[in-house]
Amino acid sequence: MGSDQRQIGYLELLRENTSFRRLWLGTVISLFGDWFNTIALYSLILTLSGSEFALGAVFITKMLPWALASPIAGILADRFNRRRLMIISDLLRAVIVLGFLFVDEPSEVFLIYLLTTAQVVLGSVFQPAKSASVPNIVKREHLVTANTIMSATWSILLALGAAAGGFAVEWLGLEAVFILDSLSYIISAWFIYRTVIPQFKYESRETSLIRSAHQEVMDGLRHIKRYPAIRRMATTKAVWAMGGGGLVFLLALLGESVNPEAASVSIGILFAARGVGTGIGPMMVRAWVRDERKWPPIIGTCIVMTGVGYMIAGWMAAVFTASFIVALPVMLAHTAGGANWVFSTVLLQQRVVDQFRGRVFATEWLLVMGMESISIFLASLILELGLLSLVQVVILFGGICAVAGSFWLFLVVPAEKRDHEAGKIPQS
């Protein structure tokens, strides 16, 4: 995408593109409920177990099953109607989250992990289906705007949902929050039902889905391997997750440590800061940098900045006792992280043809969720064993993120430049 191409405005795209608007509205509703649910889960597990490792296990349960299910989810997104997959995923999740209403004793904590696993497995189908659908309902030159809207929506709903979720847990109770989350999935399904999503026609094989799953997963992996430019973008988020996964988990503990008397509110404030940052970042970079050839060095720099921001947040948490002060470097860290996320997604969408897009995005989620799970496990284990203090672990994982971003800059940026000059960047 050259700098001379006109970028459509955010409101203009939503006003003129009915299908994208409906997909976006469904996302708005379900994300708001999801962030209510997330803060409620963190509060519930800390109340019932009081264990940092148990909280880490919730984070891992939100990611590892997603990672393991991603290859099959990618096949489903390429083989079946993506719109129907998203509707079914929403409706089933609406039922599953009601199961959290029955968890109120320490002996029932295992149900949190079982229900969360079911919820995220269904989410692992929804996400690649949605990501693969966006290029089919918006023009190529509007992809940056569309993905910035989606990212900003995630961010704004994180900010509003996390902050409101913290107060909702305190004022309305956990049961009301879980019911609201269930209703949000039903409303999301209704919006997606009214959306028209064109799709590449899958050429059916004679073998069953299960028998052909291995071959199709390997086809997707070979497609990624065949094009280094695709492989680089498909692994970008996993590079961030080396430190970023643990940092997002540690953010909840920072909130609790800064203000233990109102832990839910404090956690909500820090997660809201995360949301504000991830919303600001993509919009800033979109406004300032239109030429996609300049995006790779920005992406690597953003990974470094995420780590540095959390190192500052860790130090500030040791000095100050107000969550809104610690929220400032958290917001800056995720301003960088949000830009990294959006622009690596857009480049991947531009480089992958429709018939492989679901599997490629599922593979990307496999890598990032797998890496986040490892990062969270190590961070929670270090804390559980008492090897380092909370502040020290935050600074450690901030450093890991910064170092990973530095290596990305050193290895990927020159390769991107060479492939652009040689005309080796694939186009969807």
Of all residues in the chain, what percent carry a pLDDT higher than 90? 26
Please say if the pLDDT value at position 173 is more than 90. no
The C-alpha atoms of residue 35 and residue 268 are separated, in whole angstroms, by 9
Please say if the pLDDT value at position 426 is more than 90. no
Give the chain's mean pLDDT: 83
Please say if the pLDDT value at position 229 is more than 80. yes
| Lowest-pLDDT range of 81-90, 206-215, 400-409 | 206-215
Please say if the pLDDT value at position 117 is more than 90. yes
Contact of 161 with 32, CB cutoff 8 Å: yes
The full set of domains in the chain, from first to last, is 10-193+213-420 (1.20.1250.20)
What phi and psi values does residue 400 have, to the nearest 5 degrees?
Answer: -60, -45
Contact of 67 with 365, CB cutoff 8 Å: yes
Radius of gyration of the chain (CA): 21
Residue 110: other Cβ atoms inside 10 A = 9
Please say if the pLDDT value at position 207 is more than 70. no
The C-alpha atoms of residue 398 and residue 401 are separated, in whole angstroms, by 5
Give pLDDT, residue 200: 63
The C-alpha atoms of residue 337 and residue 307 are separated, in whole angstroms, by 9
Give pLDDT, residue 1: 41
DSSP letters spanning 43-91? HHHHHHH--HHHHHHHHHHTTHHHHHHHHHHHHHHHHS-HHHHHHHHHH
The C-alpha atoms of residue 82 and residue 392 are separated, in whole angstroms, by 44
Torsion of the alpha carbons at 120, 122, 124 and 127, rounded to the nearest 10: -110
The C-alpha atoms of residue 183 and residue 186 are separated, in whole angstroms, by 5
Highest mean pLDDT (candidates 44-48, 170-174, 273-277, 408-412): 408-412
Which tokens belong to 371?
């890496």
Residue 409: other Cβ atoms inside 10 A = 17
Please say if the pLDDT value at position 163 is more than 80. no
